[in-house]
Amino acid sequence: MDILIKNAPALLPEGLSGGPADICISGERILSVGSVPKDFIPEQVIDASGMLAVPGLVNAHTHAYMTLFRNCADDLAFNDWLFGRILPLEDLLTAEDCYWGTLLGCMEMLSTGTASFLDMYIFCGSAARAVSDCGMRAVLSRGLTDSAGEDPAGGKRRLTDALDEMREWGNVPGLSFMLAPHAPYTCSERYQREIAELSHDTGVPVNLHLAESDAETATILEKHGCTPTELFDRTGLLSDTTVAAHCVKLSDGDIDILARRGVSVATNPVSNLKLANGVARIPELLGRGVNVALGTDGAASNNTLNMFRELAFLGLLRKGLDADPTAVTAAQCLSAATAGGAAALGLDSGAIAPGKLADITLIDLDRINLFPRNNLLSSLVYSANGSEVSTVIVSGKILYDHGEFTTIDRERVLYEVNAVCRRIGTINE
């Protein structure tokens, strides 16, 4: 559909537009920004007076199905969280459960301005079906482990499933795929090399967890005599199409490696706090030219998939810890949540510019917390809470329209999610 968005200022690659910047969308792409081509006849005109147009946000690391587990394992020591709570619950899930959980995650992401995300999951097909049903853009990756070499058959099966899924869903618009060696401590060196070679041969990028905790660093040092980053580098998993989530525990040498290989880092500030892992070295990564993207992680280790909350944490944490109020700026945060995320995910989106995929979020500026309008850009990072999102357009289609989902049956999803949670026992009422 051809759409004209009128009367809204826009967050452009060069900064905020001075006044309203009319945006023409033709099909799935942005046709023009600023002026309307003479022969452009929109089928729909959106009067976005009082709103701000920003690129649809990119959530560069999540596990959407885990939205099922929101708030069911908080304030727990890591082992109690993972082994006592999350893994036993995960064992109870079916592919159908994960479909509904993913849709709940999609609803939350859309309602807070996210247009696309990078997902890692356990059931092939569930996320693909959910994303394709709701029309979001996603990069999908089945988490791959061989239980650190203890379960080579399982590792093989998971990889085969992932490849089958790519063949089955690879041509669906809006979907793309990555290979996801889960983590340095869950994949044997042999398995890592196998995936790296496959990625190299097929051109399918890599998505992985890296340097999340001190325990991981200690385990890898003991077993492999190097840092997790060095291990992944030597098995060939780090390249300029690789997205590495977390990256909290990085040495200077590790940062060198990431910079040299052109790896994108998907930082998850809230998750890293909640699971007691610390705060990533964002200023150092940015200073070395590493592409930094922003992700929420799953709801089990964050409790919301709201990128606006993530933006605030990204902007504030290193200021306080480095005694430097300029450590990470609002512009750097917004870049991580838009262009940086798109670059990480290999998407031709993340910017309001002619030719780009038409992923656009409209923000209602008529909010007390955005007033007075002393600095709109700053207010997006430090004052907004995500509830200001009015409309989300993905690939030129309006998926969230003044608070209503156009492709998702909200009540049905809530009903099904509730049924899952009763069955697995996280809700007892």
SS3 290: coil
Q: Which is nearer to a second copy, 25 or 337 (CB)?
A: 337
d(CA 75, CA 65): 21
Rank residues 170 and 278 by Cβ distance to a second copy and give the closer one.
278
Please, which residue, 131 or 187, has the CB nearer to a second copy? 131
Q: Which is nearer to a second copy, 76 or 198 (CB)?
A: 76
Tell me which residues in 159-198 interact with a second copy (CB under 8 A). none
Contact with a second copy (CB under 8 A): which of 3, 312, 345, 363?
A: 312
Q: Contact with a second copy (CB under 8 A): which of 278, 283, 346, 354? A: 278
Q: Return the residue of 5, 104, 282, 347 that touches a second copy, per CB under 8 A.
A: 104
Token reading at 121: 């999951």
In the complex with a second copy, the residue whose CB is nearer, 229 or 303, is 303
Evaluate the omega torsion of the peptide bond into residue 372 and state whether it is cis, within 30 degrees of 0: yes
Minimum Å distance from CB 185 to a second copy?
18
Least distance from a second copy to the Cβ atom of residue 219, Å? 16
DSSP secondary structure code for residue 125 in this structure:
T
C-alpha distances (whole Å) from 116 to each of 8, 209, 313 are 22, 19, 20
Task: Tell me the helix, strand and coil percentages in the chain, rounded to 5.
Answer: 40, 20, 35
Q: Could you tell me if 350 and 58 are in contact, meaning their C-beta atoms sit under 8 angstroms apart?
A: yes
User: SS3 of 383, please?
Assistant: coil
DSSP, residue by residue, 143-182: EE--GGGT-HHHHHHHHHHHHHHHHHHTTSTTEEE-BEE-
Q: Which of 308, 339, 344, 349 binds a second copy (CB under 8 A)?
A: 308
Of residues 375-414, which lie at the interface with a second copy (CB under 8 A)? Answer: 375-376, 378-379, 382-383, 385-387, 410, 414
We find the least distance from the C-beta atom of residue 388 to a second copy, in angstroms, to be 8
Among 26, 132, 147, 329, binds a second copy (CB under 8 A): 329
- CB within 8 A of 333, min separation 6: which ones? 294, 311, 314, 315, 381
What minimum distance in Å lies between the beta carbon of 188 and a second copy?
28
C-alpha 336/C-alpha 358 separation (Å) is 18
Between residues 171 and 326, which has the closer beta carbon with respect to a second copy?
Answer: 326
Q: Residues 118 to 147: which contact a second copy by CB under 8 A? A: none
d(CA 266, CA 141): 15
Restricted to residues 22-81, the positions that interact with a second copy (CB under 8 A) are: 68-72, 74-78, 81
Question: b/e for 142-177, b at 16 or more Cβ within 10 A?
Answer: bbbbbebeebeeebeebbebbbebbeebeeeebbbb
Query: Which one of residues 234, 319, 354, 407 is an interface residue with a second copy (CB under 8 A)?
Result: 319
Sign of the CA dihedral running 153, 156, 162, 167: negative
Of 257 and 270, the one with the shorter C-beta distance to a second copy is 270
Among 8, 122, 187, 421, binds a second copy (CB under 8 A): 421
Where do we find the tokens 């005694």?
323
- Of 59 and 192, the one with the shorter C-beta distance to a second copy is 59
Query: Does 374 engage in binding with a second copy (CB under 8 A)?
Result: yes
Q: How far is the CB of 382 from a second copy (least distance, A)?
A: 4
Binding residues for a second copy restricted to 238-277, rule: CB under 8 A: 270, 272-277
